[in-house]
Amino acid sequence: MSSLRLTQQQRNHLSLLQKPASAVVELCKSAFDYLINGPNPSRYEMLAKKSSDLGSPEAVQQAVEALISLLISVTTRVGSSSVDMEAILRQTFPELGDDVIEVLEQFVTSKRNFVEGSIKSANIRAYRLVNLDWRLEVRTASRSLLDQCQVVVTMKLYLHTEPKNENRELLAVDISGRSEQELKAMQEDERLHRKDLLVQTDVCSLVHMIKTLEDALAESKTRRIRNIVDGIH
């Protein structure tokens, strides 16, 4: 098994792994806490003050997030638990000492099942966009507006947890000829799996969102994302 592929930025953030093993243990604990409770800036500040080896709170948080990326990479790329994890980590981080490699091996081995289960359970309830309504709205000048006019885009997003035919019109389901029991079942299905969101944004923000989505689409075609998708399914 070859070494894990990490970006140069991730490697820079993981430079803190070259610190003493006791400091790396604290980073691994913080990474797992991040997975459960989200980022905790006060904890990173405390770690930075407690150990001068770790640098600034920002450096600690970046190292924690890079450790999570490493854990996800291991979970999605290394399919079998019988793989020699120590050998993979040594190839990935040849500059690290034996004690730090041992800490990392325990971290990724003990937490990979948690990450794998979280990814699969999140995928079960993931909402998918199945339809979209939108309109342009122009607000003319008034006493509350400093500008002459303001253009906004209002969108209604139809989300569903189950794959749907893109041509299906969710708002115009043919209910003729259906029994009362079938109608109740359909309503219950929609209640459990469907969500409608009404959002409004300005044109500049919409352009930014489109650019972000296009970047995400391009990244979805990379080998790293394909490995994650394979790990989910």
Same domain, 73 and 98: yes
**pLDDT per position in the chain (233 positions), as tens?**
556 667 777 777 777 787 788 888 888 888 888 888 888 888 888 888 877 667 788 888 888 888 888 888 777 766 555 567 778 888 888 888 888 888 888 888 888 778 777 766 655 567 788 888 999 888 776 676 666 677 889 999 988 876 554 444 444 445 556 677 766 766 676 667 788 889 999 888 999 989 998 988 888 888 767 766 665 55
**Domain assignment present for 100:** yes
pLDDT in tens, 159-174: 887 655 444 444 444 5
Domain ends where: 96, 125, 154? 125
CA 45 – CA 109 distance, rounded (Å): 27
Q: Return the number of other C-beta atoms located less than 10 Å from residue 79's C-beta.
A: 11
**Domain assignment present for 107:** yes
pLDDT of residue 36: 85
pTM of the model: 0.53
Domain region containing 186: 128-173+180-232
Q: Return the number of other C-beta atoms located less than 10 Å from residue 187's C-beta.
A: 10
- In the sheet that holds 149-160, the strands lie side by side as 128-140, 149-160, 194-202
Are the C-beta atoms of 154 and 135 separated by less than 8 Å? yes
**Domain assignment present for 3:** no
pLDDT of residue 168: 44
pLDDT of residue 70: 83
**Domain assignment present for 41:** yes
Q: Return the number of other C-beta atoms located less than 10 Å from residue 153's C-beta.
A: 15
Same domain, 153 and 85: no
Same domain, 201 and 216: yes
pLDDT of residue 38: 85
Same domain, 112 and 136: no
Domain ends where: 106, 125, 144? 125
Same domain, 226 and 133: yes
Same domain, 117 and 23: yes
Same domain, 119 and 159: no
Same domain, 82 and 101: yes
pLDDT of residue 154: 93
pLDDT of residue 198: 92
**Domain assignment present for 2:** no
CA 63 – CA 72 distance, rounded (Å): 14
**Domain assignment present for 82:** yes
Q: Half-sphere exposure of 71 toward its Cβ, with a 13 Å CA cutoff?
A: 28
Domain count for the chain? 2
Same domain, 104 and 186: no
Same domain, 61 and 103: yes
Q: Which residues, at least 6 apart from 107, have a Cβ–Cβ distance to it below 8 Å? A: 28, 31, 32, 67, 71
Domain ends where: 60, 94, 125? 125
Same domain, 100 and 141: no
Look up residue 2 and give its two tokens: 């070859």
Same domain, 139 and 89: no
pLDDT of residue 140: 75
C-alpha 180: how far from its chain's center?
41
